[in-house]
Structure 1
Amino acid sequence: MQSLPIVPRLMTDVRTGAKRHTIRWQERTISPGLMRYVSTEDPNSTATVRVSAVVTMLLSSVACYLGKSDEWPDAVLLEGMREHYPDIQLDSRVEVIHHSAPLPDAEK
């Protein structure tokens, strides 16, 4: 199964279904289907979701695409992304990965 690392502070939102997308830069290719998030601090802490779509775009387009332009002006988005990717720029091509709420064990 495909997987992606996730920082522990975001795992809670994945588990409650509040987090339904992730923005990734220069990481492994993800495609529609099952995907497991794995905590960067505890590899036993996981959540399985179903990826519905992966959309590639410039980082500068992400806030508008996700309807978060007011929350994420360019400077805020860039600062947040640089916590994970120090070299990212607004003109970097990123993948926006859309996914379901976490799946119950029976669906995995």
Structure 2
Amino acid sequence: MPTGSVAITGDEQELRSLARWLRDEDDLRGRVSLADRPIAAGEMGGVLDSVVVVLTSATAGQLVKSVFGWLGQRRHASAVVLKARNARGAEIELKCGSAADASVVLGDLRAFLSDGE
């Protein structure tokens, strides 16, 4: 089964909200974590950089559905960027904005994960 990971980038407060939303999904539970960017000189601690989701081609649909569901619930809808890495280490960036993007993002993500087999 093709596997990979997705790092979702955006505003720190938005990322924390998205992580809570994704963790409520049964299919994604235990696959969602928060990642800090490396601590820079003069900083006292890490700064949230992304939400990381480990997934398979089977859970990719739930991830995309959940991300677009979360975006649809936001008062100030914004876009997030999915940065996916497949099992071979190849990377792709997919922008998630309007609901119309959902089927294209899902198709591209599944095809990308399958290429990593």
Same fold (TM over 0.5): no
Structure with more of its chain in helix, by fraction? 2
The two structures have a TM-score, normalised by structure 2, of 0.28
